[in-house]
Amino acid sequence: EVQLVESGGGLVQPGGSLRVSCAAAGYTFGDYAMSWVRQAPGKGLEWVSSITYDGGRTNYADSVKGRFTISRDNAKNTLYLQMNNLKSEDTAVYYCAKATHVVAGSYDYWGQGTQVTVSS
C-alpha cells in the first residue's frame, strides 16, 4: 500500500523559514518523480514544485522561484521542501504527490497534507 505522510508544517512569521517533509512507503521511491502542491484557504490547488526520480531536474512555480527548494533523499524515501523568505500568501495546506513516471506530469497518490501558516 502506497503511503505519503507530510510533516513539518506550522506557524511562521513573514520572512521566516520552514522545511516540510514527505515520507514515502509502499513503493520504490527512487523510481518516480515527486511534486509539492498547495491549497490556500478558499482557493484551488496550485502546483508548487517538481523533482525528477533521481533529483537531477527541478521545476518551480514563478510564485516561489528563488525562495523554495525541492529535494529528495532516495535512501531515506523522503521528499523535502525548504521554504525561505515566507510570505503571507504562502499560507496553505501543502501536499506531496507521487508522479506516475520518472518525470512529473500526472499523479496517482497524494498525502494528507500539512498546514503552513505565515502570519505575524
The pLDDT of residue 92 is 98
On the question of pLDDT at 105 being above 90, the answer is no
The pLDDT of residue 115 is 98
On the question of pLDDT at 102 being above 90, the answer is no
φ, ψ of residue 31 in degrees (nearest 5): -95, -5
The model's pLDDT over 75-88, given as tens digits with 9 standing for 90+, comes to 999 999 999 999 99
Mean pLDDT of the chain: 97
On the question of pLDDT at 103 being above 90, the answer is no
- Those residues whose C-beta lies under 8 Å from the C-beta of residue 72, and which sit 6 or more positions away, are 29, 34, 51, 55, 78, 79, 80
Which band of pLDDT confidence, cut at 50, 70 and 90, is reported for residue 71? very high
On the question of pLDDT at 5 being above 90, the answer is yes
